[in-house]
Amino acid sequence: MDLLSASAVNWSRAQFALTASYHWLFVPLTIGLALIMAIMESIYVKTGDEKWKHTSKFWQKIFGINFAIGVATGIILEFQFGTNWSNYSWFVGDIFGAPLAIEGIIAFFLEATFISIMFFGWNRVSRKTHLLSTWLVFVGSSLSAFWILVANAWMQYPVGMEFNPETVRNEMVDFWAVALSPVAYNKFLHTTFSCWAVGGSFVAGVASWYLLKKRHTDFAIQSLRIGSLVGLVAFVMLAITGDGSAYHVAQKQPMKLAAMEGLYEGKEGAGLVAVGMLNPAKTAYNDEVDPYIFKLEIPKLLSLLGYRNINAFVPGVKDIVDGGYPLADGTTALSFEERKVRGKKAIQALADYQVAREEGRDADAANHEIILRENYAHFGYGYLETGEELIPNIPLTFYSFHLMVMIGFFYILLFLVIFYYLYRKNMSRTRWLQYVALWSIPLSYIAGQLGWVVAEVGRQPWTIQDILPVNAAVSAVSGENVMTTFILFAVLFTGLLVAEVTIMVKQIKKGPEVAEYEKVEN
């Protein structure tokens, strides 16, 4: 398929992925630095050491540069739900819009209000008031992330709703079920720790650059201690919350789990692939080709992580498409074809209901509504044609997941080594470690992007799991129009990224205020 003939669905997906990817270059550093500079300022207020004040002020400048540019991509991202995904917005706007509205009204304004005090209140308010404003910036940025992730988690696991055939919309019936679903709070924790990880690795890398240049050594060691502490805690907690994510994926999105592990044939006591290479000759889910060229597997661990039972059955891609395997509730999984039939029955019942209501046949409308509700759990399958459409891009999901995990364990080892040299050796003279920390900065960003690839590519073809596929969610616009805006956004976002990196590099090269440090030392 050439560029001009690509559908509006594909271009809309590409445009949203582009915007989200660029946006996620700014958000993690914002949240991560918010925590780090709050910790640094807390040490300043507790000890009265002016060096910590100037260290905190330096990182606040980097935070401000990143925050200002990140807001632009976030606003555009939310507008795309109305421009490119209007059917989706209509279908679930009553639910999806609620957490986004709360994020804008409460969290974002909390963050924006106290940022002004944080930046301009150093000599205008008391130390404790200023410290409170800095912590409230961190709280506001975290709350902003929470409500956005609640909306995203609902797409992965739709709960707390009821479909209204009168309006053809899903309506919220239980706000707390949406806000506090197990998928939502685990996604929030996992994503927040990933932001701390980016902040910690960024600060540790920049501090190592100062050590390499033999500049601002005291500032660099202070920053390295806090950045490494936050980074180590973050990556350890990522491993813990990652376990929770794997469990929820196994329960709610088994196809995503199968794609993450390249599991085509289900098995009891399934092992977790630690390292492996997929076989590119595997072109169909039901062929006889071995899916792996090679793999190193940890026995039974996938069953344990996914079902808390080392002998549990983990369905593979073929099982999910063909059905027939036992479910946890004692029933048998339906095949794609069975769910497709029920989905089409639900879609037809909705159409019949609307006709009956227009013609005043209330009894018939009530019967059609019963059929609709009995089959609504399969509604989205009625828009799909073949079982292959259920299968996400397995190589992309598999390699993204495993590379993300490898980066996480690399960082745990790196921060442990940094701590060893900080407190047992002389970190300022360990140039090889300083280079590793510096050049590792991009890895934390890559790991965050890979996590979103797993989360979003792995749940395809769904915008809302089992209820609305992407081909039914897109706006009625031409692929050419979306392609044009895609190119415009790509140019705009790349320009913003270049501008941010340029400004941050200049500020980092400038470093903390030398005169202030010299005054403190004297």
Q: In the chain, where are the structural domains located?
A: 8-253+392-516, 260-281+288-322, 336-387
Nearest to 468 by CA among 166, 148, 156: 156
Q: What is the C-alpha R_g of the chain?
A: 25
pLDDT, residue 5, reads 41
C-alpha distances out from residue 263 to 22, 156, 395, 517, Å? 31, 21, 11, 57
Q: Quick check: 20 and 493 in contact, CB under 8 A?
A: no
pLDDT, residue 475, reads 87
Task: List per-residue pLDDT tens for the chain, 522 residues long.
Answer: 444 445 888 888 999 899 889 889 999 999 999 999 999 999 999 999 999 999 999 999 999 888 877 777 777 777 788 788 888 888 887 888 888 888 878 877 787 788 889 989 888 899 999 999 999 999 999 998 899 899 999 999 999 999 999 999 999 999 999 999 999 989 999 999 999 999 999 999 999 999 999 999 999 999 999 999 999 999 999 999 999 998 999 999 999 999 999 999 999 999 999 999 999 999 889 888 999 999 999 999 999 999 999 999 999 999 999 999 988 888 999 999 999 999 999 999 999 999 999 999 999 999 999 999 999 999 999 999 999 999 999 999 999 999 999 999 999 999 999 999 998 878 878 899 999 999 999 999 999 999 999 999 999 999 999 999 999 988 888 888 889 989 999 998 999 899 989 999 999 999 887 545 545 444
pLDDT, residue 109, reads 78
> Chain-centre distance of CA 145, in angstroms?
10
pLDDT, residue 34, reads 95
pLDDT, residue 6, reads 56
Biggest CA-to-CA distance, the chain: 89
C-alpha distances out from residue 474 to 80, 89, 471, 488, Å? 11, 9, 6, 20
pTM higher than 0.85: yes
What is the rounded CA–CA span in Å between residue 232 and residue 338? 48
